[in-house]
């Protein structure tokens, strides 16, 4: 079990219409009558890809991550949503460039570094306070950076 990949199940809020689909993979997809989008249990997901292929609205994306990235989660918006791993380290007097495709976390990383978004370290239901965040980044250049912006 420890050598398994970590899976992130992303369900697009814009595309998901659970009342119009058949929830092909009943093993890990849950839809309550009150919810507007489907919920995929990432713990139960076996990575079969059935839900991705069968979703008529192309609203589901399953991403496999190495297990060792699990401990480096900086921010997560909620279940079945984007997950940011690690942060770039800005240094005084130097230019930092962020380049990459859409949806990889450039804007989220900038919001965290600007102090406009408090990193929740992946715990969206019970976010940490700033003292715990500083303890998490202890020993890195980011600890000094966050201390300066607070």
In this prediction, residue 47 has a pLDDT band, given cuts at 50, 70 and 90, of: confident
Whether residue 6 contacts residue 66, with contact meaning beta carbons closer than 8 Å, is answered with yes
pLDDT at 72: 86
Tens of pLDDT, residues 91-148? 999 999 999 999 899 999 999 999 999 999 999 999 999 999 999 999 999 999 999 9
Whether residue 30 contacts residue 39, with contact meaning beta carbons closer than 8 Å, is answered with yes
Closest alpha carbon to 110 in 123, 101, 97, 121: 97
pLDDT at 1: 42
Please state whether the predicted TM-score (pTM) of the whole model is above 0.75: no
Whether residue 108 contacts residue 83, with contact meaning beta carbons closer than 8 Å, is answered with no
**Which CATH architecture describes the domain 1-67?**
2-Layer Sandwich (3.30)
Q: What is the DSSP string of 47-77?
A: ---HHHHH-TT--EEEEEE-GGGGGGEEEE-
Q: What are the residue ranges spanned by the domains of the chain?
A: 1-67, 73-149
DSSP letter, residue 42: T
What is the three-class DSSP state of 148?
A: helix
Tens of pLDDT, residues 23-42? 666 667 777 777 778 888 87
Using alpha carbons, list the distances in angstroms from residue 119 to 95, 113, 116: 22, 9, 10
pLDDT at 68: 65
Whether residue 12 contacts residue 59, with contact meaning beta carbons closer than 8 Å, is answered with yes
Cα–Cα distance, 12 to 38 (Å, whole number): 9
């Amino acid at each position: 079990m420890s050598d398994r990949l970590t899976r992130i199940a992303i369900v697009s809020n814009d595309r998901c219409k659970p009342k119009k689909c058949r929830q092909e993979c009943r093993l890990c997809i849950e839809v309550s009558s009150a919810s507007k989008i489907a919920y995929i249990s990432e713990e139960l997901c076996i990575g079969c890809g059935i839900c991705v292929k069968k979703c008529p609205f192309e609203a589901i994306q399953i991403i496999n991550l190495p297990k060792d990235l699990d401990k480096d989660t900086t921010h997560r918006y909620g279940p079945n949503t984007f997950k940011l791993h690690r942060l770039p380290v800005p240094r005084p007097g130097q230019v930092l460039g962020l380049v990459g495709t859409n949806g990889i976390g450039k804007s989220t990383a900038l919001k965290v570094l600007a102090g406009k978004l408090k990193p929740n370290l992946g715990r969206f239901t019970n976010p940490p306070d700033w003292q715990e965040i500083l303890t998490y980044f202890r020993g890195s250049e980011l600890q000094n950076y966050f201390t300066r912006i607070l």
